[in-house]
Amino acid sequence: MARKQGSHSDITGPRVRDAALRLIARHGYAAVSMRQIASEVGIQAGALYNYTPDKQTLLFDLMRGHMADLLAALEAADLQGDSLSRLEGFTRFHIRFHLPRPDQVFVSYMELRNLSDENFAAVEAMRRTYEDALESILRAGEAEGVFAVPDPRITTMALIAMLTGISNWYRAGGRLESDKIEAIYWDMVRRAVTA
Amino acid sequence: MARKQGSHSDITGPRVRDAALRLIARHGYAAVSMRQIASEVGIQAGALYNYTPDKQTLLFDLMRGHMADLLAALEAADLQGDSLSRLEGFTRFHIRFHLPRPDQVFVSYMELRNLSDENFAAVEAMRRTYEDALESILRAGEAEGVFAVPDPRITTMALIAMLTGISNWYRAGGRLESDKIEAIYWDMVRRAVTA
């Protein structure tokens, strides 16, 4: 265990992923070479293959890692209470998680087309798990008579698109603080779904 | 005028734009070459330069053309009536315009980063004009006391992201018809903003 602490792989692995994320977000997967990623990290192109077998695996690791972080953070958020409280919790959680990760949001949406079929299916399944968490809150509220949501699946997609869209215009240090944004969006979400 | 009718340029120009849109949506701007676009159209690479001076101009033409079509269609839709009617008109217009154009939606969002500064500014100004049309409806409804929209600019961005997000999951011939989708989204939009 002591050997792993601060080992070459520990330090360089995250730097490879950071560089790949930054370059792919800026130029697109197809335009970025393993050589460019290695150069950005400051290692030889050959050494990059110690960290990832190929570019497809690197892309998949980025997208799967993003979804795994999201699902783990949602579980840690441990949304409790009635359906309205859980919907508020989900809304605020979604904004807080995505706001500091614009590159991940962009790459996760844009590069789905460049995943192999198998990798696409794996990422889609994780995305579906996340969507299902919101959908189950909406269905519970509908059953309780608190929400009026004629098609919970569509409403799920609509709310996630609305909330994730903040990444298109939000810039840290801009006109609005993150907590003000949360309040405005939660107000819209609540009104859009309550009976 | 008779000479222009059915001329080479008339026929091939739109095919160049269609091919470029399809290839860029599939592979990304940076990964697509002028040679590939020419090959897709079935002309010599050199002949492509009769239609566009370079790849940047082609991308700009696609994105500017999409925004020009959108603004012209919105003007033709000629939204009238009180603010609630105009908001419904805008919502239905936005869905109807974007649903058959998933490649344009994708490229317009994804390839902003690949526009030159000058071209980016031009496309952004057109996008802002479109957003302003919705914002002015929200401000009018707020002034009339029909809408409760504490920050019309944010609500504008939220609603546009929600509506444009339909392109992420909608497939023609899927579970829901376009008019059913319009009805569900209009219901959410109306409830999200009305006082």
Cα–Cα dist B146/B69, whole Å: 31
CA A125 to chain centre: 13
**Partners of residue A147 on adjacent β-strands:** A194
pLDDT tens digits, residue range B139-162?
A: 999 999 999 999 999 999 999 999
Listed range (A132-141, B44-53, B121-130) with the worst mean pLDDT: B44-53
- Three-state SS at B44: coil
Q: What is the DSSP letter of A30?
A: G
- What average pLDDT does the structure give for chain B? 92
Query: And the tokens for A191?
Result: 């009104």
* Mean predicted confidence (pLDDT) in B96-112: 93
Helix H or strand E encompassing B108? helix B102-110
The residue of chain B nearest to residue A31, with distances taken between CA atoms, is B31
Which residues in chain A touch residue B160, judged by CB atoms under 8 angstroms apart?
A: 165
What's the complex ipTM? 0.90
- Three-state SS at A56: helix
Which of B31, B109, B154 lies at the smallest CB-CB distance from A184? B154
pLDDT for the residue numbered B12: 85
Query: And the tokens for A89?
Result: 């919790």
pLDDT for the residue numbered B140: 97
**Partners of residue B194 on adjacent β-strands:** B147
Query: And the tokens for B170?
Result: 């909608």
Cα–Cα dist B5/B10, whole Å: 7
pLDDT for the residue numbered B171: 81
Which residues in chain B touch residue A31, judged by CB atoms under 8 angstroms apart?
A: 28, 30-31
Which of B151, B184, B189 lies at the smallest CB-CB distance from A154? B184
Percent of residues in chain A assigned helix, strand, coil, to nearest 5: 75, 0, 25
Query: Given a cut of 60, is residue B3 above it in pLDDT?
Result: no
CA B21 to chain centre: 13
- Three-state SS at A194: strand
Nearest of B141, B134, B131 to residue B82 by alpha carbon:
B141
**What type of residue is B181?**
I
- Three-state SS at B15: helix
User: Per CATH, the architecture of B55-193 is what?
Assistant: Orthogonal Bundle (1.10)
Cα–Cα dist B85/B90, whole Å: 9
pLDDT for the residue numbered A148: 95
What band does B4 get if pLDDT is binned at 50, 70 and 90?
very low
Which of B110, B151, B184 lies at the smallest CB-CB distance from A151? B184
Give yes or no for a contact between A193 and A149, defined as CB atoms under 8 angstroms apart: yes
CA A47 to chain centre: 29
- Three-state SS at B32: coil
* Mean predicted confidence (pLDDT) in B11-38: 92
Rg, C-alpha atoms of chain A: 19
pLDDT lower than 50: segments of chain A: 1-6
Fold of A54-193: Tetracycline Repressor; domain 2 (1.10.357)
Query: Given a cut of 90, is residue B172 above it in pLDDT?
Result: no
Cα–Cα dist B103/B146, whole Å: 36
* A1-52 CATH choice from 3.40.640.10, 3.50.50.60, 3.40.50.1000, 1.10.10.60: 1.10.10.60
Which residues in chain B touch residue A169, judged by CB atoms under 8 angstroms apart?
A: 157
Best probe of the B interface among A112, A124, A175, A188, by most B CBs < 10 A, is A188
Nearest of A35, A37, A13, A12 to residue A23 by alpha carbon:
A37
Enumerate long-range contacts of A103-110, CB under 8 Å, 24 or more apart: A103/A21, A103/A22, A103/A25, A104/A21, A104/A62, A104/A66, A105/A164, A105/A167, A106/A25, A106/A167, A107/A21, A107/A24, A107/A25, A107/A62, A107/A63, A107/A66, A108/A63, A108/A66, A108/A67, A109/B168, A110/A28, A110/B28, A110/B110
* Mean predicted confidence (pLDDT) in B74-86: 97
**What type of residue is A145?**
G
In percent, the amount of chain B with pLDDT more than 90 equals 81
Query: Domain residues of chain B, as ranges?
Result: 1-52, 55-193
Q: What are phi and psi of B147, to 5 degrees?
A: -105, 150
